[in-house]
Structure 1
């Protein structure tokens, strides 16, 4: 979630308060005074506040026009050269500060987005792992149920096949006995009447045996059909088990891919953190260079002030020397000298 922003009025009020307390105005002091805010935003508003501050004009001093013009021209030339060089350095430093501030904001936003994405991916991975565990438990339950059903089906099929085989064996034995009786009857054709009666009885018995055999064969066919159905059911169960194993493999592959993606996201977050640390180091270096530039500016201002004081002393001495030998008053002119505008300083 984005942090709440601050306004220019808040930063300007903080800068005025710090200046009233006699403290040097910096980004860290302004941020400590406000208690919140991005350093780049505070830096931008401090620059606006520095530009909007009014300048103070110096009191007018009377001196000869020629001397005043020469001194002013020399001072202006020196100030212009110093100001041009300093403003160039100041512009470069401000451009660098703006780039670093923007880079810092981009890194902070990217880090927040990566952190949110990492939290979301961790949540998704936990859900996928839970789904994979539930699927694995379902597969185990299906395997257990399938194994029990397969054992039961195989036992039933084996019992039915064994019973059908026993019925068929009994039918074959009865047929063999019938053929043997028929052979013996044919050998005793002499006793036709008696043998015909025996033959009729044997044929009736054979017919009954054939009927029983047909029933046994029909039972064997039913058992075979049931065995085929059981084998089909077993094949479907095995196919279902293979499908579940394939789904489990796909889920594991997806979990592995999510873990790899999470590792990549964590690595990107580490890189972003390192880049942010590098940007902060560059910001500290810029602050150090800025402080050195401020010190050099103060030294140059002190030197210009001293040179101006020396020039004023020399002008006063010249006026005194001119007033002693001459009876006529020296031609003087009241000239308003404005204090050279100090280079724009950004208290960072």
Structure 2
């Protein structure tokens, strides 16, 4: 039976099937269902390869009569056909008082297991869609209100742009805002939000990262400006570029896995959310792996494994990344 996410905690089923693209909301709902109910119940969190643990615990008689077992299967989307059949058997035979929560974030709708679970009777089914920015902002404002935190309008926009769709990260960020504000009730500005997000970088540094990701020759000029005109620290440049290249690799991986929202799955934040699609098209997965090796080599040289000047190391790294050659 299809159930709205807002109704999950109000309706009880022996088995729940949670699926969809919003992995954070899905995981949050699954934990809520697992936590609710009998406080004495045995609670398990398992992968699809550990279904035997669910079977063993759910049939455990205990010393003083049958024990209650609540089990959460985290990654049903990765089930093999054999594991899928085992999971279907468990879902169809949940004993009275027990609870089975099957999570399949980003599951392929063509997957046989998915179709079979949707056809089952007595299973609470809920799909989690990635909220658009407007809905996410509404939810985020509710979390701030509950926490007693106030943000300036442009600070709110900054936070929403970087956290949109990342509910768990947003909750942790609200907690950091609470610690910073400490109940003072002050309206926090964009500067504070950017600092607490830990994800703000100068526009010039973002321009350089983007130019490297697009393999543009402009990247070399931008690197020289950052190093010589702005005296940007080489390790800072390397750290931000390393993050960008890892994001590109993870984005490509989630695309290959058929993720409905690869940018969210790869935890892309900041300005990269708007450019990652074009940047990823420039690189093959093997080239991204090679790029990460180049970044590791550059880090070693910056830490003293080479007599080269540090600015020269970064200039050569930039050239190697955009040309596909070695340093």
TM tier, smaller: under 0.3
- Structure number with greater CO (CA < 8 Å, separation at least 6) is 1
Q: TM-score, normalised by structure 1?
A: 0.15
Larger Rg: 1
